[in-house]
Structures are given as structure tokens and as C-alpha cells.
Structure 1
Amino acid sequence: MSAAAPARRSFRAADLLSWWPAWLLFALVLCALFAPWLAPMDPDRQNLLARLKAPGFEARGAVYHLGSDELGRDVLSRLIYGARISLSVAVLSVLLSGVVGVTVGMAAGYLRGWTETVLMRLVDIFLSIPAILLAIITVAVLGPGFVNVILVLALTRWPRYARVAYGQTLAIAERPFVRLSRAMGASPARVIAVHILPNIVGPLLVVATLEFGLMVLFEAGLSFLGLGVQPPTASWGSMLSTGRNYLATAWWIATFPGLALFLLVLSANMIGDRLSDRIGKG
């Protein structure tokens, strides 16, 4: 065996470990997908005799590994089911805002003229309004709920994608292969879909990854304020809101959801930074 073999194995192991944020995010996704099988209890089942019990408490043959909340519900089970809300809201809002923003940005960058002026001024208007303020006002008007939260987050964040898509489209639209396609009679829709979009996917993917973590925080913030997914549905933001009232006597109610949010957002942001470095070097 050559001396290079151990070095190659060490390099592969180090490379795999360097992607620990992706493994962490993958583990959280698995927890959300298989919540009914992983959660030790029904997340909404109340047991007032076991309320505010510390992690490791056992009652009626059931172990509360991360303690119980003010209604005697298992914190671990609610944490696992809460991952479903945070991840699903983040994924759907990123997809919806990405589709709208990329479409607007590419149309403005390719068509130019009055279309560019109107669309980009609309983007400027949305960007001038604080995103969280716009989200709170919109949810207050539409009402709280899972679907409304997704719509609100998509409404507040699509301009970020539009800006990036617009700048990238301006750079690609003047390339020789795009000019040749136009000269051969290709329609604007075909040029955008076949020649421009594949060449700007990289930067858009970086934006989507970073926006994913922000969507998680926005959803948690809205739920914390009572404007997100409504009780008794488990949500990390609502668990934090409840836990703040018991920090002195039951620290675990707020600590574990806060830690889960921290790890999820950290992993998403680190993946985004890693992708940005890879694309920049490429």
C-alpha cells in the first residue's frame, strides 16, 4: 500500500467532516419527515400532573427526555413536530418567492425598456419597506395560519431574487450565444429559459440557501408574536414565546427550541457560504 493511500483517506474524511452543516440539515429534515415515528409521544397530549417537569422526568411509564411544558406536553415531541413547520414554511416560501423574483428579474433584465423601469421600480418600493414590518402588517390583515405565513414571507422576500436575477441577466443577455439565438428567431421566453436561466442558477442557489435560514427566523418570529401557525400546533417560535414566561423555573421550554433554531439557521448559512465560495472559485 502506498503512503499516499492513508493521506487520501484522511483527506476524504476531512472533506466529509467539513460539510457537517449539510449533515446537520439533513438530520433535521429526516426528523421532520419521520416525526410520527421519532416522537416518543403525541405532541398535543396534555398531562397536568406532569407539567413543568425537568428533563428526564418519568411519569406513567413515559420519559420526558427534554422535560415538559406548562400543560404537561412532551418538549421533545413538540420539538420534532415543530421542525416540520419551520422547514416546510421555509422551503415553500423560498420556492414561491424564488419563482416570482427570478421571473420578474429576468424579464426586466432581458426585455429592458419600460418593462425594466416598471418592474425594477416595483422592486425598489418593496425593498424600501422593512421586511419584518411588511410581514407583520400583512399577516395582521390576512390573518395567521400556515398558508398565510408562506404567502406573506414570499411577498416580502421576492425582491431579493429579482435583484440578483436582474443583474445576472443583464450580464448574460449580451453574450454571443444569446445574440445568435435571438438572430435565429428564438422567442424571448425560449431565450430566457434555455440560454439565460441555466447560466444564472448558481448565484440564485446561493441566495436561496441564505434566504432559507432567514425564512426560518421570520416564521419563528411571527409565531413568537402569535401571528404564525396557531396553537396547539407545535412551532419553535410559539414554544419560545411560551418558554420566556418560565425561564426562571423551567428553562428547558425555551432553551431547546432556541438551540434548534440556532443550529438550523447556522447550518443553512454555512452551506450558503460554502456554495458561494465554490461558485466564486468556479
Structure 2
Amino acid sequence: MASATRYRSRYIAGQLLAWWPAILLGLMVLMAILAPLIAPLDPNRQDLLGRLKLPGYEGRGGTYWLGTDELGRDVLSRMIYGSRVSITVAVLSVLLSGIVGVTVGMLAGYLRGWPETILMRLVDIFLSIPAILLAIITVAVLGPSFFNVILVLALTRWPRYARVAYGQTMSIARRPFVTLARSMGCSVPRALLLHILPNIISPILVVATLEFGLMVLFEAGLSFLGLGVQPPTASWGAMLSTGRNYVTSAWWIATFPGLALFLLVLSANLIGDRVSDIIGKGR
């Protein structure tokens, strides 16, 4: 009986250890969704008399569990609301870049000929430009805003999806069922949606899970440089940018958002690795 209980405990612990990245990411997503309900204070409320206070400070309005920033705002509340920005930007930019990249890659791999040459040369041009440099230039031209950040990140990352979709589509397009569908007059959109896409979705999902963490980092980097979401909207990158000026006197301003950013990106990357392993074993 004792050995069975011990075995069950080890099994449960092993499952939790294996799935902790998904659990952590799920908790962060839930935190972002429920931010208005769980944030202890207004993230934008200023209290200059309570600026740069240590974690646990009790002041006007309640307890500041993670301290206050240079304007007396609650760091914990701003972190909770900042998660909404990071996760929303990452999800939408991954979806948009994935749709554009997969469409371009499938068209190039299925049509071949001059469409393939034009589309893949366009992919090569975008890949030859450093992504972060292209993002900075584009944001500087369009202006920093929430939607512009999403557009810029999608613009810089779609070629990766295109390369994967292109290679997978060329392989699938030679299969007998695709050749038969084409000979029976199947239109290009129908062939791509019904015959090509379902057979290449697995590697696309792997790319998307890995790109999610990268999008979070890009968004934080742009906000750190002042080219992302603009104040007073809370953003982890902007909090890091502010906190660097107070590292010696108020370490908590940059430490806690940096730790949250690290955990979010780490969990997303580990989930991507696990998805890749599962798909690889299933083949």
C-alpha cells in the first residue's frame, strides 16, 4: 500500500514536472485575461509621496506587494496589466505572420514556375534584413502604437513560416492524392486548404510555438527602446527601461518584470520543444 502511494506520488510529481511550462503559461494567460479582477490597485494611479517604496509597503489605497515605481504606481498591478500587452501582441503577431507566411509558402510550393521565383526571392530579401533592425525602422516610420507593433512584428517574421510551408508543400504536392485532385479540376484555393494545409500544419505549429516566445522578446525590446506600446499603458519592456535608471536604489522595478519576461519566454520555448518532440515521434 505504501509503495503504491509512493509510486502514485512520484507519477504525479513527474507529470507536473513535465508539464510545468504549459501550466505556467496557462497561469500567465489567465492572469492577463483576469487582470481587471485580480490587480490589487489601479496600474496608472500615481502617488508621488509613495514613490520608490520597497516591496510590502503599505500606503494610500492598500499594500504594494512588489513595491512602487518612480511615480508611486503599484509594480504588481502594472506587471499584471503588462502581461496583457505582451501576450496579446505575441498571439496576434504570430497569427498574422503565420497566415501571411503560410499562404506565400504554399502558393510558391504548389504553383512553382515564375510565382515560385518571385515569392521566394521576396522571402530571401526579407530574410537578408536583420529582423530587429527592420522592426525598428518600420515602427519609426509608422509611429509607435499597439497595433503598429503587431503589424511590424508580423511583417518581420512571416518569411520563416513561408520557408517551412514552401518546403513542406513541395513534398506534399507530389503525392498521388494531390495529383489526382488537380487532374479532376480542383481549384488552387481548394487544393491548398483541403489537401495541402492539413498535411503541413504540424511543422507550422512547431514554428508558431517557438515564434511566440520570440514575439514576446521583440515586443519587450521595442517597448524598452520607446518604440512599442506608449505610456501610460503598462508594458514589461517599458518597465525594464524605466527600472534600469533605478537599479541601485529601486531594484524591484526592473527585477520583477524581467523575471516574468524570462519565465514567459522560457515556458513558451519549452512547450515548442515538447511539441516538436511529440510530432517527431508521431511520424
Tell me the equivalent position of 1:195. 195
The more displaced of 53-62 and 130-139 is 53-62
Distance change in 2, residues 1:66/1:5 (3 Å): closer
CA deviations on 1:193-231 (whole Å, 9 max, x unpaired) are 101100111100000001000000000000000000000
Where 2:73 maps in the other structure, the secondary structure is: coil
**DSSP 3-state at the match of 1:67:** coil
Q: Which amino acid aligns with 2:100?
A: V
Report what 2:53 is aligned to.
Answer: 53
1:12/1:194 CA distance change after superposition, 3 Å: farther
Give the aligned partner of residue 113 of structure 1: 113
Task: Specify the alignment match of 2:144 in structure 1.
Answer: 144
Deviations 1:55-104 (A, max 9, x none): 00101351100000000000000000000000000000000000000000
Q: Secondary structure at the match of 2:267?
A: helix
Q: Does the residue aligned with 1:215 lie in a helix, a strand or coil?
A: helix
- Which amino acid letter does the alignment assign opposite residue 139 of structure 1? V
Aligned residues: 282
Match of 2:259 in 1: 259
Distance in 1, matches of 2:61 and 2:72, equals 14
Q: For residues 16 and 67 of structure 1, what CA distance do their matches in structure 2 show? A: 31
1:156 aligns with 2:156: yes
Aligned to 1:91: 91
Q: Quick one: which amino acid aligns to residue 270 of structure 2?
A: M
How high is the TM-score relative to the length of structure 2? Answer: 0.96
C-alpha distance in 2 between matches for 1:193 and 1:60: 57
- Taking the aligned partners of 1:45 and 1:12, their CA distance within structure 2 comes to 43
Shift of residue 185 of structure 1?
A: 1.8
User: CA RMSD, aligned part only?
Assistant: 1.6
Q: CA deviation at 1:31?
A: 0.5
Q: CA 1:35–1:193 in structure 2 vs 1: closer, same or farther (change >3 Å)?
A: same
Match of 1:38?
38
* Cα distance in 1 for residues equivalent to 2:201 and 2:61: 52
1:1-282 alignment to 2 at 5 Å? 7=7, 10-11=10-11, 13-60=13-60, 62-282=62-282
Q: CA deviation at 1:44?
A: 0.1
For 1:167, give the aligned amino acid. Answer: G
Structure 1 residue 13: Cα displacement: 4.7
* Counterpart Cα distance in 2 of 1:54 and 1:137: 38
User: Which blocks of at least 5 consecutive residues in structure 1 are unaligned?
Assistant: none
Aligned partner of residue 19 in structure 1, secondary structure: helix
Structure 1 position 11, deviation (Å): 3.4
Instruction: Give 4+ residue runs of structure 1 displaced > 4 Å after superposition.
Output: 3-10
Structure 2: stretches of 5+ with no match in the other structure? none
**Once the 2 structures are TM-superposed, how far is the Cα of residue 152 of structure 1 from its aligned partner?**
0.4
CA 172–54 in structure 1, closer or farther in 2 if over 3 Å, else same: same
Q: Following the alignment from structure 1 to structure 2, what is the Cα–Cα distance between the partners of residues 10 and 58? A: 41
Letter in 2 for 1:165: A
Q: Percent identity?
A: 77
Rounded to whole Å, the distance in 1 between the matches of 2:180 and 2:10 is 48
Shift of residue 177, structure 1, vs aligned partner? 1.2
Cα 1:180–1:9 change in 2 (3 A) is farther
- In the TM superposition, what is the alpha-carbon distance from 1:48 to its structure 2 partner? 0.6
